Amino acid sequence: MLSGIKVVILRMVLVTVLFSYLFYFALKYFPWYDCVVLMCFFVLYLGASIIDTFMVAAPESYVIEDADGRSYLYMQLASMIVLLYGILDFLSFKITRITWGPEYITSAGTMIFLLTVILRISALRALGIYFNLRVALYERHILVTDGLYAHIRHPLYAASLLTNLAFVLIFNSWGAFLLVIFLVVPAVWYRVKIEEEFLLRHFKLGYEEYAKKSKYFIPGIW
**DSSP for 81-123, written as a single string:** HHHHHHHHIIIII-SSB--SSHHHHHHHHHHHHHHHHHHHHHH
Looking at the chain, the whole-number percentage of residues with pLDDT higher than 70 is 94
Determine the length of the chain. Answer: 222
Whole-prediction pTM: 0.87
Pairing of strands 136-138, 63-66: antiparallel
pLDDT digit string (tens) for 148-197? 999 999 999 999 999 999 999 999 999 999 999 999 999 999 999 999 99
Q: Is it the case that residue 8 has pLDDT exceeding 90? A: no
Name 138's bridge partners: 63
State residue 82's pLDDT score.
97
User: Domains of the chain: which residue ranges?
Assistant: 65-213
Q: Which of 53-67, 107-121, 124-138, 183-197 has the lowest mean pLDDT?
A: 53-67
Phi/psi-derived region of residue 220, left when phi > 0, alpha when psi is between -120 and 50, beta in every other case: left
Q: CATH code for 65-213? A: 1.20.120.1630
